[in-house]
Chain A
Amino acid sequence: MATEALGWWGVPLGILAGTLRGSAPFLFVSLGECLTEKSGKINLGLEGTLLMGAMSAYGISYLSQGALGEFWAPWLGVLVAGLAGMVLGAIHGWLSQQPRVNDIAVGIAMIIFGSGFAFFLGKPFIQPQAPQLLTFDWGAWSSNPAVQSALKVSPLFLIGVAIAPLLQWFFRSTRWGLYVRAVGDSPDAARAMGISIFKVRFLSTMAGSFLAGVGGACLSLYYPGVWTERISSGQGLMAVALVIFARWKPVQCLWASLLFGGAQAIGPAFQSVGINAYYYLFNAAPYILTLLIMILTCSPKRTLIGAPGALGKMD
């Protein structure tokens, strides 16, 4: 980055750029986790889903560039990433609803399985360069290259921003949204309404994993825009914390993702002006923040405000 030329102004600009870029995967993965948790199950395996999405998006974009061209190939990659996520979601949704099976344990198994599968299939794609998603260059008015690169916004990010209020509306005002909330809050009441708990949770997990797969595509086709095995670095696991942070409200997932994306950019932004001393501690800021919020807002007497009633309970 050319932020050195800007001196101290590079810090807020770096954080802004990092927020716009880094929050996209957080956004998708937290919206997906929000949908799954609303139905009463936790999907810890989104880390594996994210990796699988990143790998398949990159691989498909690379393989189909000849047939589809530079513009459409990445979009096919995004679609396939979502579908790959859905397949993993189907395994999780089915297995975690078997009797005596703990959804946290299934999540950890799915992290191992998903990341193993992604690394296995993704080995050939580490070297080649795949076509990337085209970005909106909102910084073209500026002659400063740092400003220009900071304001490159991905259409995926905008789609994510649009999905957040849409999902909120879905929960509040649609019949299916009511089903999901009923199953997550009170399985007994849902059963009395004649809703199939298994089906609702299965579909919610699959849809949530679709979004997480698309979140993976943000990583490999937008920022950082390569496929490596370290690309997700715990962002999928963070989804669970993010959703708690956002109180299971999709629009708040958007603010939380922006905050986490920004927090993630603090370390590199300071590093770009030569401050290295607390780089790693700044990087841990989102985790520390989430833990503090949980400590402050939890109480042994009641569950978290906004938490689905049946979350984390065996039925």
Chain B
Amino acid sequence: MAIASASSASNLFYRWRRPLEAIALPIAALVVAMVIFGLFCALAGSNPLAVYGSIYRAAFGSWSAWQNTLIRAAPLMLTALCTALPARLGLVIIGNEGALVIGGLAAVIVGLGLGTTVPALMAQLAMALAAIGAGGLWIMLAGALRHYRGVNETISSLLLNYIAIALMNHLVEGPMRDVEFVTKPSSAELDAALWIGNLPGSRIHYGLLYGLIACVIAYVLIQRTTFGFAARTAGGNVRAAKIAGLPVGKLTLAVCFLGGSAAGLAGMVEVAAVQKRINESLVSNYGYAGILVAFVSRHNPLATILVAILLGGILASGGILQRSHELPDATVLVFQGIVFLCVLFSDSLYGRLPWFQERSVM
């Protein structure tokens, strides 16, 4: 008995080692990334601690900073789902940018078409549905090509990015061009009634709620429903899933549609809350940053919320590095790259570190 009580603490640790490992490794990866980036800043002639202080202040240091961060986190949550959901089926989708652009395009076309002929709330709903449908179908195309033709979904979704951006440029340059707006080729402006408003007492638009709700729904769907169970099973072993009679093709299409619809909704949020019209500015790398968020959160939709806020903060601090440390704005990109590489490496350490390993009976 004495032996049992002495080792109860370590037993407790032993029972929780998997979740502890899942929390400790990403945090350790972040710390290592911060040390490497700190060295980088030191080499560039800046005091790393001062740089981190500035990033913190610009990202989370005040209510105003938090607002900047959350505005950027909203589209990241949605675009991350575009990679995270299909990843559960073992698909690597990187067409987030294209789905975002197509979603934004569909929302603007519907918004300009409806104008003020219907109540604003209905028009906004129609815009959101158009964006969800268009983005969903766009990524579903990659899923369908994968399932029916064996086309690699990573490459096809990548190509679809460029095709989507070209389509948008073609439309705003030609058929949809607003001749009044001269600074760059753009569509006409959406009616003010169709803009997504701000949360009371802030500059944060309601898009943040869309992002949060979508992540929660995605989590419940994947972790708590039979659909999610089927998707995870198929992602684990396709052959076993087929033998068990799961409709792998339909699952592929459905999951890709859901992922794409989230990115499409991000496009609607960006045009209706930030840009107010569609032009090249919509292509601002939220798609590629979303891939990063999805991988860092290990494709877990709830973790996505946290990681999106963290990355939103890093993105929000780009300006201040330029102003107060005379570092180029690309510094933030270097930081993102280092974080991503460290987190990927930490993935390979699961089950390899001695502290978290199963111990043989003493």
Contacts and interface: CB of A to CB of B under 8 A. Distances in A.
A102 B340 contact: no
B292 A281 contact: no
Interface residues of B, number: 48
Contacts of B348: 98-101
Contact of A108 (B149, B174, B288, B329): B288
A147 B74 CA distance: 52
Interface string B164-186: 00110110011000000000000
Interface stretch (A163-171, A187-195, A236-244): A236-244
B230 interface: no
Given A108-B291, A116-B330, A101 B337 contact: no
Given A237-B158, A291-B156, A104 B92 contact: yes
A241 B333 contact: no
Contacts of A234: 162
A110 B169 CA distance: 27
Interface stretch (A1-9, A138-146, A292-300): A292-300
A111 interface: yes
B268 interface: no
A41 to B, nearest CB: 13
A121 to B, nearest CB: 9
A234 B327 CA distance: 26
A92 to B, nearest CB: 10
Interface string A164-204: 00000000000000000000000000000000000000000
Given A101-B348, A291-B159, A113 B341 contact: yes
Nearest to B291: A108
A68 interface: no
Interface residues of A, number: 52
Nearest to B166: A284
Interface stretch (A211-219, A249-257, A272-280): A272-280
A25 interface: no
A302 B348 CA distance: 30
B330 A120 contact: yes
B191 to A, nearest CB: 27
B245 interface: no
Q: Mostly helix, strand, loop or mixed at chain A's interface?
A: helix
A106 B155 contact: no
B302 interface: no
B29 to A, nearest CB: 12
B344 A101 contact: yes
Contact of B166 (A102, A237, A280, A312): A280
A119 B333 CA distance: 9
A91 interface: yes
27 contacts: A44-B154, A100-B348, A104-B92, A104-B94, A104-B154, A105-B295, A105-B344, A108-B292, A109-B337, A112-B340, A113-B334, A113-B341, A114-B337, A116-B330, A116-B333, A117-B337, A240-B155, A240-B158, A280-B173, A284-B167, A290-B159, A291-B159, A294-B145, A294-B149, A294-B151, A298-B151, A298-B152
Interface of B: 44, 92, 94, 145, 147-152, 154-156, 158-160, 162-163, 166-167, 169-170, 173-174, 288, 291-292, 295, 327-338, 340-341, 344-345, 347-348, 350, 352
Closest 4 CB pairs of A and B: A113-B337, A116-B333, A119-B330, A284-B166
Given A98-B345, A109-B341, 6 more contacts: A113-B334, A113-B340, A114-B337, A241-B158, A291-B159, A300-B149
